[in-house]
Amino acid sequence: MHHVERGSGALFAWPAQSTYIKPPPFLDARLAQSSLRDLKGARALAILGNSITTDHISPISNIRANSVAGAYLQNLGVAPPDFNNYGARRMNHEVMVRGAFANVRLRNRMVDVEGGFTKHQPDGAQMSMYDAAMKYDEKGVPLIVIAGDEYGTGSARDWAAKGTRLLGVRAVIANSFERIHRSNLVGLGVLPCQLPA
């Protein structure tokens, strides 16, 4: 029988080079600050239709080589056949935030293509949601998402709210919300604003 050495101590020794597990950023000072602040100069990251599911917001599918998450993994030396899927890499926030709103069937009405794309404003350049969000973050521009009926339906996927928050989205404005996803947004400090009927 083969003997395996067991670690000891009160804390798990995070393997810094792991592409599967990273210390989560949710207690960092910037993310932990209250979201109850004025929302000024916000830009829309996405304008979406009805029945946007948690899988549209945080896909569980295989990571594609031509995606933002795929580029991130390739830069770390991971070959495309070893990418796996978003579900397997859900303990790496760097992969998951790059996968937020990256479902190939997502239809953002700000652009003429399907997938995780948007238009950065005011220049109008088309780019991935992640790249646009990072450009807005550099300038301190808060983001909103606009949607129709039944936003956040489907499975109660925690990364749908986590990815939204890590992209810098401060509020989601929709006609109606799925109850669990609405609660998850509140828990992550994203304000769900329901339009009057």
How confident is the model over 175-185, as pLDDT tens digits? 999 999 999 99
**Band of pLDDT at residue 10, cut at 50, 70 and 90:** confident
Mean pLDDT score of the chain: 92
Q: What is the pTM of this model?
A: 0.90
Ranges 23-27, 116-120, 146-150: which has the least confidence:
23-27
Q: Which pLDDT belongs to residue 2? A: 58
- Environment class of residue 117 by beta-carbon count within 10 Å: exposed (0-12), middle (13-18) or buried (19+)? buried
Percentage of the residues of the chain whose pLDDT score is greater than 70: 94
Q: What is the pLDDT of residues 11-70, one digit of tens each?
A: 777 778 899 998 888 878 777 666 677 889 999 999 999 999 999 999 999 999 999 999
* CA-CA-CA-CA torsion sign (147, 150, 153, 156): positive
CB 86 within 8 A of CB 61: yes
Residue 169 predicted with pLDDT over 60: yes
Instruction: Calculate the CA 5 to chain-centre distance.
Output: 36
For residue 182, the one-letter residue type is R
83 DSSP β-pair partners: none
Each residue's pLDDT tens digit, 70-88: 999 999 999 999 999 999 9
Residue 70's nearest CA partner among 113, 59, 56, 119 is 59
Quote the DSSP letter at residue 74.
Answer: H
Sorting pLDDT into bands at 50, 70 and 90, what band is 156?
confident
